[in-house]
Each structure stands twice: as structure tokens, then as C-alpha cells.
Structure 1
Amino acid sequence: MTDKQFSTTRRTVLGLTGAGALTALAGCLGGVTIPAQANGNGGGGNAARTYRVTVANLSTGQPFTPPVVVAHQSSVELFSVGDPASDAIRELAENGNLTPLGELAESLSEVRGAAIGETPLVPTELPASEMFPYTTTLELETDASGAYLSFVSMLIGTNDGFTGLDTVPLPERVNESRSYFASSFDAGTETNTEDYADMVPPAQALYGIDPEDTGTEGTGMSNPDLAEDGVITPHGGIVGDGDLDPDVYGWEDPVALVQVERMA
């Protein structure tokens, strides 16, 4: 696969923005597999490998944006607890915007492949679960040099919450599988108002709430007045300071299960 093809594919499929309507979340990202780049650093013996990656939303009150899984070398770090969030993670966590993450991935030869879900993942307890699943299975192609997996997805009903895995080992042997539990994180970039006015528009739609009843559509843009100069931390959850009832829209960690199997 040439660099040009890789770049074009990234820009096409990683265009989800938080400002989009519910239909944008459902249709903007097709189920896409991006094969390993041909110009990596892995050397000989780097035959293509295929993995089946299943992501399940374990929460009861938090829908996820379509999940992104990335195969990469050990030098890639998407996020780290205790460190400031990158611009790519900030845009994902605040606005559901995957474009900066795609641009980052396409600029790194150490990223060997990626796959993106088709739809939001919605807990069965929420009204939108009649339209959207709580789990999805993706096909991820990489090579021997891309031996690590990272995963990220926004917690849609939050100001800057996300879930993810950073640099966990992929299975080595054919038919070998591994399971990972993912916790919730606060990007530390925006104050947690818990107000619909400060959340992406799909939040209300996925909760079955009419924006006319709340008087706001929400926003897919960062608000400078809410900016925090913090670091990534474990998320404190919904505490009830704004529009969200913790008993309905709260959660307990872990919020996601990621199962990975190397295919023949």
C-alpha cells in the first residue's frame, strides 16, 4: 500500500466530528480496515497478520463513539495517565472529533494498521439501543512490527471523558486470543459541567431526549471558558452537578471489554 493511498483512506474514514447529528455518528464512519503500511521499519519476515477485535460497552449509561483500534510499534503512545492530553485525544474526548487522531496516525510510520467501527456503541439500558448495538467486531490488519494495540472511544455523555487502552500486546500465535478491560478517563482539558449545552449533540439523541425540552442542541466545539490545564486522570464519573442523573447515566469501571484474536 502506498503512502498516498494510506493518507487518502485515513482522511476519508476518520472524519467524524462531534458537531454532527446522530445520523453522522451512525453513517460517517463505515466499517473500515486499513492494511499495514508497506514502508515500515519491521524488516524481513513481516508477513501480514489479521486480528479480530471485539469491543463491548460494559456501562449502563454511557454510549461510546464508534471505536478506533490501532496496531503499532512500541514507541507509539496515544495517552498516558498523569500526562497532558495530546490535541488528538482532547478533540476526541471533548468533541468526538477523530480527524486529528487520523492525521497523527497517518504521519507515523510506526502505526501499522487501524480499523474503525460503523456506529456508536449504546448500552442496552438506553433508548437508542433499539437502533445501535452495544458491541462490534472489527478486522485489523498489521505486520509483525505492529505488535501492540491501542483503542480509544469517547464517552458521549461527558464533557471530556473517554475510554481506551494504550500499547497492550497483540496475540502472537494463530488462534491465540487476549482480553482486556478498559477503564474511563478524564482528559483534563474541560471542566465537567455535566450540562447538555456543553456536550456533543448526539448525547441527547442517544439518551432519547428532545433538545427542545432542554433548550439546547449542545455543541461539538471546545469552549475556551471551560478549558482546564490538567492531565489525564481516572474519570470521577457523573456526580449530578448538571443535567445528568448519576443513577441513570453514571457507570462503574471497567466500561469496555476488548477481545483480540489472531486469525489464520
Structure 2
Amino acid sequence: MTDTNPSTTRRTVLGLTGAGALTALAGCLGDVMIPGQSSNGGDQSARTYRVTVANLTTGQPFTPPAVVAHRASVELFAVGDPASDAIKELAENGNLDPLSELAESTTDIRTLSAAETPLVPPELPASEMFPAAATLELETDASGMYLSFVSMLIGTNDGFTGLDTVPLPERVNESRSYFASSYDAGTEMNTEAYGDMVPPAQALYGIDSGTEGAGMSNPDLAEDGVITPHGGIVGDGDLDPAVYGWDDPAALVQVERIE
């Protein structure tokens, strides 16, 4: 993560291929807000932020990005640590349910919001249907001083991009920009095979390999590792690194306090 400061779930997309998978992916995650976690109304400490997430890769679509405003006690992920269930499910399956459940279970997470569509680089065929960037709003209070962001790299086994616990702007109209790197969750071996990827991967790449993709996590691919910087696409499976690889930073996150 560099401060420049100058979701799909597998069960949602099971069995879907081609245009059907794209259409389902577009609507599977609506705007998600955790009620009762932010201060509104007459509370002068209420704050509203506009957060824009942009996919900077040329070959990796993202699941609809999720952003949270939270207290300093929250840590979604850290390099060198085992992935939590929330990060494992996101990185392997594009599943945001565990993260939503975490947000609902603790007041330390003030607000969670997720985009409605995947973010697809202009170089990929599905960019005709899906944008490369999405803008979200977060409503929080003065205790929610930090931002975290996560999104699955769809054409990987357990890759994701994200930011963990970066400061939100303090003043109205103040903005900050952050570059987000890519990470390997260390929970599933990197086969780079379409048969082991979520079904929308092929549809977003505009191909049909004849395999349906993975319907659930495969215990035979389980990896008892820790979160590390992602090594990218190396060409051991179905993906050509020249087409589907990427260089970090993977994403740009711009956040502005608007109220």
C-alpha cells in the first residue's frame, strides 16, 4: 500500500457461463450498507465519504469492490499472517458474506459498502458491459477513522487486491489517494486452471474452455500458508501471462470527505 496523498459468491454464479454469467455477476451484489453502524441525523460527528476504486491491471477483472470504514482495532489482512475466513472466502470464491457477517457482529466496523458490478480492464472483452472503476459512498462517524478495501482477482485461485487500515480524510473536501497491491491469500494452490476458478472468469475473458469452473473450494488444493505479495500469472495453467498478467499496483483508491 502506498499513500500518494499529494462479490460475487460462487453459489451465486454456479453453473453460469457466457453472457448469462456476466448478467448474473452484474446484479449479484447490490450496494451493501450495514444499518445502525453509522451516526446520522443531528450528530455533528457524522461523516460521508466518496470512494472510487479503479482497476489498474490489463488482464485481471475484480469482483465488485467492498470498502469499510472502521476503528483502528480492525485489521482485515496482513502480509505474513494467515488469512481470516472473510479473506479466504473472498480470495477463493469472491464470497463477501463472511465479511458482511463480521461487519454486523462488531461495532468496530462502522460501515460496509460494496459495488454492484465487477471492474473489468478495457483490454478485456467484457469491458463493453462492465466499467473499470466504481464509486461508493460511506457514512460513518468520527470513530470510524480508517478505510479498508478488498476485491478478488477473478482470474486467480486465491488472489485479491486491497488496502488495510489507511487513514480517512479529516476535513470536508479533503481527499487522499492510495495505490493497492495484489496478494495471495495462501489458502489455495495456484493451478491457473479454468476448472479451478470461479465460473465468471471465462465469461469475463470472453472464452469457453469447455469446463464449468469451480463450484466450491477444493480440499485437494488447500494450502496452509500465509498472505504474501502475489507472484502473478506464471503460465503453469490456462492463462497466458502476457495477456492475463499484471504489475502492481493493481488498484487505485481515491477517497474524499464530502460531508
Q: TM-score, normalised by structure 2?
A: 0.90
The ranges of structure 1 where at least 4 consecutive aligned residues each deviate by more than 6 angstroms after the TM superposition are: none
Q: Give the structure 1 partner of residue 3 of structure 2.
A: none
1:116, 1:96 → 2: CA distance?
12
Q: Out of 87, 90, 93, which is 1:89 matched to?
A: 87
Residue 37 of structure 1, CA deviation: 1.5
Secondary structure of the residue aligned to 2:195 is helix
1:38, 1:246 → 2: CA distance?
43
Q: Deviations over 1:123-142 (max 9, x none)?
A: 00000000000001101110
Secondary structure of the residue aligned to 1:167 is strand
Residue 36 of structure 1, CA deviation: 5.6
Q: Give the structure 2 partner of residue 223 of structure 1.
A: 218
Letter in 2 for 1:143: D
Residues 35 and 141 in structure 1, CA contact (< 8 A), matched pair in contact too = no
1:204, 1:160 → 2: CA distance?
16
Residue 31 of structure 1, CA deviation: 2.9
Secondary structure of the residue aligned to 1:183 is strand
Q: Give the structure 2 partner of residue 18 of structure 1.
A: 10
Are 1:237 and 2:229 matched, yes or no?
no
Residues 149 and 168 in structure 1, CA contact (< 8 A), matched pair in contact too = yes
1:230, 1:150 → 2: CA distance?
22
Q: CA RMSD in A?
A: 1.6
Letter in 1 for 2:100: G
Q: Give the structure 2 partner of residue 194 of structure 1.
A: 192
2:77, 2:33 → 1: CA distance?
22
1:120, 1:181 → 2: CA distance?
19
Residue 47 of structure 1, CA deviation: 2.1
1:194, 1:188 → 2: CA distance?
14
Secondary structure of the residue aligned to 2:10 is coil
Q: Deviations over 1:59-97 (max 9, x none)?
A: 000000000000000000000000000111001000111
Residues 22 and 201 in structure 1, CA contact (< 8 A), matched pair in contact too = no
Residue 33 of structure 1, CA deviation: 4.2
Q: Deviations over 1:93-134 (max 9, x none)?
A: 001111111111111110111211010000000000000000
Are 1:259 and 2:254 matched, yes or no?
yes
Are 1:31 and 2:23 matched, yes or no?
no
Residue 46 of structure 1, CA deviation: 6.1
Secondary structure of the residue aligned to 2:73 is coil
Residues 35 and 140 in structure 1, CA contact (< 8 A), matched pair in contact too = no
Gaps of 5+ in 2: 1-6, 14-20
2:38, 2:61 → 1: CA distance?
35
Residues 8 and 64 in structure 2, CA contact (< 8 A), matched pair in contact too = no
Residues 35 and 112 in structure 1, CA contact (< 8 A), matched pair in contact too = no
Gaps of 5+ in 1: 1-14, 40-44
Residues 36 and 48 in structure 1, CA contact (< 8 A), matched pair in contact too = no
Q: TM-score, normalised by structure 1?
A: 0.89
Q: Give the structure 2 partner of residue 153 of structure 1.
A: 151
